[in-house]
Amino acid sequence: MIGHGFMGAAHSQGWRVAPRFFDLPARPEMALLVGRNAQTTSAAADKWGWTETSTDWREAVARDDIDIVDIVTPGHSHVEIAVAALAAGKHVLCEKPLANTATEAQAMADAAARAAEHGVFAMVGFTYRRVPAATLARDLVASGAVGEIRQVRAAYLQDWLVDAEVPLAWRLQKDLAGSGALGDIGAHAIDLAQFITGQRLTSVSGVMQTFVAERPLLASSAGLGGTAAAERGAVTVDDVALFTGRFDGGALGSFEATRMSTGRKNALRIEVAGSRGAVSFDLEDLNALGFYDATAPEGTRGFTRILVTEPQHPYLAAWWPAGHMLGYEHGFTHQAKDFVEAIVAGTQPEPSFAAGLQVQRVLAAVEQSADAGSAWTTTGDAEPALAGRP
């Protein structure tokens, strides 16, 4: 595994736990953890159960005893590592979004296509589709339970940037992260909407906003002399992204990705409305799924709260008795399970790098729309004081 921050902990948990709860056809061995700082990498390896460490990701690519390379680094490094690993015959799991640009994502998808011809596969880590309730939503929609899909409403709401004094981390720098809320969490909303509906976004119209233009530099970035508190750097990504979209199946969608939604910690919400019913999911209540049956008698209609903990629900048979809840980390265990099973079977794990490229193209289209200002149409009745506002 290359990288060992927040996602490093989550992925390590998945690799460690998956073979202990699921009967996998092969047992993952957590062989090598790679990070830039030898001391912190060693500490992370000891904490999470990795056997060896390195400060050079090329070692993981070169070693004959490494079968899988798991990439959890910032987005700007994904393309170089993934392309090199695939060329070396390593299966690759890469965190989302796939890359920082559609051009980089295309290079990764092309490399994955070449590798697949030789039985080497790559997958992008959209783990929320592996939350049992989200998977159940997909299954219900696929079964026709909501009928013809007409509307999709998706929002990913966080508030960790509301405080203007939050330091300028790598996620707030375009050269490292590619984009802000749009790519970081909007990518999840896009993937989950497409996963549940089985449809793909074909056109979008969006707006983006950065509310806090400068933030304090991290101590390591501010230099010496004790001036870190006074030094600030430019935020070069979006705080909020809003867009509408059309799906290839005829549905309309509305999307929101924000790290400025005061009071919302990790609320990934999606509702799919159709001619026969609707489903609704909220990550902050991840063991439940809302289902509305429009064909039920009028006097009994209403959203039913399905507690998704029964053994017949996706992934649940391997876990606890009904009513005993799962958490955020279980999605990474399910990801490791699905990835290992697909690799051993010699089949393409999903979502593929091609799917990651498609999401990247949606992100690029939203950004292009926002940059062009094409989302705004004047109504002709603006007050004079509002004239000139975008």
Span(s) in the chain for CATH 3.30.360.10: 132-285+287-326
Cis bond before residue 384 (omega within 30° of 0): no
Span(s) in the chain for CATH 3.40.50.720: 6-127+348-353
Q: Tell me, which fold does domain 132-285+287-326 have in CATH?
A: Dihydrodipicolinate Reductase; domain 2 (3.30.360)
Predicted pLDDT at 218: 85
pLDDT in tens, the chain (390 residues): 999 999 999 999 999 999 999 999 999 999 999 999 999 999 999 999 999 999 999 999 999 999 999 999 999 999 999 999 999 999 999 999 999 999 999 999 999 999 999 999 999 999 999 999 999 999 999 999 999 999 999 999 999 999 999 999 999 999 999 999 999 999 999 999 999 999 999 999 999 999 999 999 987 554 444 444 569 999 999 999 999 999 999 999 999 999 999 999 999 999 999 999 999 999 999 999 999 999 999 999 999 999 999 999 999 999 999 999 999 999 999 999 999 999 999 999 999 999 999 999 999 999 999 998 876 655 554 444 444 333
Predicted pLDDT at 224: 40
Predicted pLDDT at 378: 53
Q: Tell me, which fold does domain 6-127+348-353 have in CATH?
A: Rossmann fold (3.40.50)
pTM over cut 0.85 = yes
